[in-house]
A and B are shown apart, each in its own frame.
Chain A
Amino acid sequence: MQRSRILGPIGIVWLILTLGVIAYATRLALLIAPMEATMGNVQRIFYYHVPTSMLSLLFPYVNFGASLCYLYWRRRDPLKALTSDAVAIASAEVTVVYASICLLTGMLWGRAAWGIWWTWDARLTSMLLLWLLYVSYLMLRKLSSTGQTHTLAAVLSVFAAIDVPIVYMSIQWWRTQHPAPVFGGGPDSGLDPSMRPAFGWNVLGWAMWGIFLLIFRYLLERRRQASEQDAALQAIEASLEIAK
């Protein structure tokens, strides 16, 4: 109870700060950043597409770490295993949200820039595979009711995380329709200095938002776990009363 009294105000302050940063970042992206010479205003999708894509490759590692912790603690310390499991499902859902946005904004940008919604190049295909892996993780958690569900999901998570470096390196390992890396893509890569503030603030804003969602979803899962435990305890007590 004491912890929630501290977390509540901190959470509200964090949310207000996050919305402020996102609003400022969006203003920079739409109104302040210069118009790109080749693609015009459509290029401004970049300021949402790239930050969310970057974050969609980070949250899987939160899920990966939490799943490893779950597999380690499940027989040693059930309470820590429950905590790890809550982090795992929260991070998986946030991953799906960010990966969905990455794919959607990419398709819209691709339609405008290339004239096609989709192509089966390495970057797009591996990113779609990442999205499918985490959707399947969530479906397993949702639809399976065996005692092994959490363990199976944790193992799936370990394999799903393998796709992340493949997505990241795909545009360097293979020739793709997707553009070369903006950062670290060679001597001709890099972002114009006038575009960097908009990009940087959007990275910060969407990272703060992702952290907020992750913690909020984690707290929801912890509340659900406590509710299930309470229901199980009441069922046990009721059966003991009947047995008397």
Chain B
Amino acid sequence: MEAHHLLWAYLAVWLIQGGYCVWIAWQWMHTPDCSGMESTDSRPIHEDS
């Protein structure tokens, strides 16, 4: 059996999982922190009926 498939499989897992985590972290650093808004009054979600 071709063992390089094993290598590619493990690499693919680490790349995908790691890449997604890095993406979240990058988005986190570039999203302003407005956590003071969490305690404000409830604001209705704007949706058409």
Asked whether B31 lies within 8 Å of A230 as measured between CB atoms, the reply is: no
Asked whether B27 lies within 8 Å of A220 as measured between CB atoms, the reply is: yes
CB neighbours (8 Å) of A1 from chain B are: 35-36
Instruction: Known A78-B44, A101-B17, A224-B31; judge A39-B9 contact (CB<8 A).
Output: no
Interface positions of A (Cβ within 8 A of B): 1, 4, 26, 30, 39-45, 48-49, 52, 74, 77-79, 81-82, 93, 97, 100-101, 104-105, 108-109, 111-113, 146-148, 150-151, 209, 213, 216-217, 219-220, 222-224, 226-227, 229-230, 232-233
Asked whether A105 lies within 8 Å of B9 as measured between CB atoms, the reply is: yes
- 21 A-B pairs within 8 Å (CB atoms) are namely A41-B6, A44-B6, A74-B47, A78-B43, A104-B9, A104-B12, A104-B16, A109-B9, A111-B2, A148-B47, A150-B47, A213-B21, A216-B25, A223-B32, A224-B31, A226-B35, A226-B37, A229-B34, A230-B37, A232-B43, A233-B37
Asked whether B35 lies within 8 Å of A216 as measured between CB atoms, the reply is: no
Asked whether A151 lies within 8 Å of B47 as measured between CB atoms, the reply is: yes
Asked whether B24 lies within 8 Å of A45 as measured between CB atoms, the reply is: no
Asked whether A49 lies within 8 Å of B9 as measured between CB atoms, the reply is: yes
Give B45's nearest chain A residue, CB to CB. Answer: A78
Asked whether B2 lies within 8 Å of A77 as measured between CB atoms, the reply is: no
CB neighbours (8 Å) of B44 from chain A are: 78
Asked whether A108 lies within 8 Å of B12 as measured between CB atoms, the reply is: yes
* A81 vs B17: C-alpha distance when bound (angstroms): 28
Give B38's nearest chain A residue, CB to CB. Answer: A226
* A56 vs B34: C-alpha distance when bound (angstroms): 32
* A230 vs B37: C-alpha distance when bound (angstroms): 7
Nearest-Cβ distance from residue A87 to partner chain B, whole angstroms:
15
Among B12, B25, B45, point to the contact of A82 (Cβ < 8 A). B45
Given A78-B45, A104-B9, A105-B12, 20 further pairs, Cβ under 8 A = A1-B36, A42-B5, A78-B43, A79-B42, A82-B45, A93-B20, A97-B20, A147-B46, A147-B47, A147-B48, A148-B48, A209-B17, A213-B17, A216-B24, A217-B24, A220-B27, A223-B31, A223-B34, A223-B35, A229-B43
Asked whether B16 lies within 8 Å of A100 as measured between CB atoms, the reply is: yes
CB neighbours (8 Å) of A104 from chain B are: 9, 12, 16
* A49 vs B32: C-alpha distance when bound (angstroms): 37
